[in-house]
Structure 1
């Protein structure tokens, strides 16, 4: 099916190439120098047909075989041979016609070579320009495809970095619960298994349903909340979620991780607020948490935030706005993105 449009394109090109000079010709009766007014008509048709043949020969064989491979001398010799053949064909046709006593002479192209050479040069130039244009377009497509593959590989690497980081934090949380002999430890282990199932199996695609991602975030918050003491207040709110939307998986979880990692304490009163809101296809995520003095290492805040920034640049270019604000008492994140 893909070849049909190309065939029609070639037919239209040949029809136009053969007929266009005829449309510009003055009336045949004006050419008194020709014994037969049809001689000029036949000559123009033959010249155009030969020029069109030169176009396709140059486009499909000479340029790929010689020019593209930098065999410039061979390419130049081939073009000169084409020009010579085109000049000789009408002469050869006249010779054959005279031998067969067929009264259909052509204009002697050796005596008037300029029209034939001009048409041939135009055909060769056109085929060269179009071929180079197609080469450039193909190179751009290849470059874009390579860039897409590179970005996909980088996104996969960034996402894989989230997984071990996530499990490390979760296992630390369960370990601390087990040390305290918390009665919620079995529930936390069950919750972790559900979260692992999502991370390992359900989030492998480029996009996941937004509802699944929210369910995962809610489970993560619930599990982390199990290990906290009563002096840590956690608010998690989801509003106006729309069905049918998809999102890159595990995109906002590093922000939530940081809330629990750096914004909770066994001795100080803390508060964190995490909210998610949808307005059509526009997703608004925000989080803020209390900063515990001395808990954040200024030289190493983990790979999470830089990871999210890079994934946003690759997956949602020009479709997101990320604001991170930090002061002495609070760390806040505001993310808007078009899904």
Structure 2
């Protein structure tokens, strides 16, 4: 037994959503607009809060108008100079000293500027207490500056972490896709090598069916080269491809074996990975004991609304799994492709009982988006 899952969850279809961009996504995609939106929200909330507490809108506007440049300077110097230079390079102590040094300096200069405007005609008289350069004002305004710098630093770090995670996922996805393409490319040479050997055996026998076999082989090559180059293929085309292969093998074996091929369930517009079933079916013919009287090879495909089940049986004198035998490239290939495509959302079992080798593969169906 290779991989077994007692029950298969209903797998969602592989979707290819259209690119829908409303004004919010376009806004967030614009870096400048995103920053303006963020700072507008922060300062708008603070202005409303100060005006509500102090019951004086002029104080709120005057306070923020003189503090905004220093707050922005502290945040952007930290984000685009101190973090890349110290934090991102691992110099955390130097980074902490530099950040607090920057905040303390900007806060002191900010309070000095506020105090200069106390006697200005535009300064509300009730704001003089908050603009005076003293210890309590320095601590209060310094704490606020620290909180804003900390907030923007946290957002920046979260964004960087998300970006790195997306990059890692993209690299991993590319590696998996490359491996899938490599695995699928191994199927064709492996399959055609065996089929050409079968054709060679017929020509040695001077069989009248050799020309028919050449035509079917041509159809198989056309499908493998031109119609199965995507990630998925329609189920009806895949089953038609399997029928062609089985007919080729039936011609080769002649009366040595009886072949039963059954398809149960409706064949609609379902999609499956191309050439996934063929190595398993090919294994039935390749490793069958042709000298067993009355030998029967059975291939059954059962289609349900959510899954597709492939079951095969063939006579065999082998004492080990075909996956572990020399030359078992096909089934090892299938096993790896299943892991990459479905994770654990599949069931693949092989076994040998009473000189009959059997395999069972159940996978979720993928339906196209209409």
TM-score, length of structure 2 as denominator length: 0.78
Is residue 124 from structure 1 mapped to residue 149 from structure 2 by the alignment? yes
Worse overlay, 180-189 or 151-160: 151-160
Give the secondary-structure state (helix, strand or coil) at the position aligned to 2:313. strand
Structure 2 residues without counterparts, runs of 5 or longer = 1-22, 366-370
- Counterparts of 2:38 and 2:174 in 1: how far apart (Å)? 38
Aligned to 1:95: 116
- From the superposition, tell whether residues 155 and 226 of structure 1 become closer, same or farther in structure 2 (CA, over 3 Å): same
Q: Secondary structure at the match of 1:163?
A: helix
Structure having the higher Rg: 1
2:9 is matched with none
**How far is the alpha carbon of 1:208 from its aligned partner?**
0.9
What are the equivalent positions in structure 2 for 1:127-206 lying under 5 Å apart? Answer: 127-206=152-231
**Distance (Å, rounded) in 1 between the aligned partners of 2:285 and 2:361:** 18
Q: Would you say the 8 A contact 1:52–1:123 is kept in 2?
A: no
Are positions 1:329 and 2:355 aligned together? yes
Match of residue 75 from structure 2? 55
Deviates more, 1:84-93 or 1:155-164: 84-93
**Aligned CA distance change for structure 1 residues 267 and 5 (closer, same or farther; 3 Å):** closer
Alignment-derived partner of residue 328 in structure 2: 302
Confirm whether residue 67 of structure 1 aligns to residue 76 of structure 2: no
Provide the aligned C-alpha RMSD in A. Answer: 3.2
CA contact (8 A) 2:111 2:138 kept: no
Match of 2:267 among 229, 232, 242: 242
1:252 paired residue number = 277
3-state secondary structure, aligned to 1:227: helix
1:203-248 Cα offsets, whole Å, 9 max, x none, are 1111111111111111100111111121310011112233221111
Residue pair 2:118, 2:131 contacting (<8 A) in 1 also: no
Are 1:240 and 1:279, in contact at CA under 8 Å, matched by a contact in 2? yes
CA deviation vs aligned residue, 1:25-82 (integer Å, no higher than 9, x gap): 88548xxxxxx99668743664467435533443355424543244653774365234
**Residue 215 of structure 1 corresponds to which residue in structure 2?**
240
Q: TM-score, normalised to structure 1's length? A: 0.85
Partners of 1:174 and 1:69 lie apart in 2 by 65
Q: Is the CA contact (8 Å cut-off) linking 1:265 and 1:292 kept in structure 2?
A: no
Deviation (angstroms), 1:271 = 0.6
SS in 2 for 1:173: helix
Contact 2:265 2:303 (C-alpha < 8 Å) held by counterparts: yes
Look up the match of 2:98.
77
Compare relative contact order (CA 8 Å, sep 6+) and give the higher one, 1 or 2. Answer: 2
Question: Matched residue of 1:190: which SS?
Answer: helix
Aligned-partner Cα distance in 2 for 1:263–1:103 = 96
- Which of 285, 303, 313 aligns to 1:278? It is 303
Preserved contact between residue 51 and residue 119 of structure 1 (Cα < 8 Å):
no
Q: For the residues of structure 2 that align with 1:237 and 1:37, how far apart are their CA atoms?
A: 81
Whole-Å Cα distance in 1 between the matches of residues 81 and 263 of structure 2?
Answer: 63
Is 1:107 aligned to residue 131 of structure 2? yes
Count of residue pairs brought into register by the alignment: 332
CA distance in 1, matches of 2:61, 2:247: 88
* CA-CA distance at 1:89 after TM superposition: 2.5
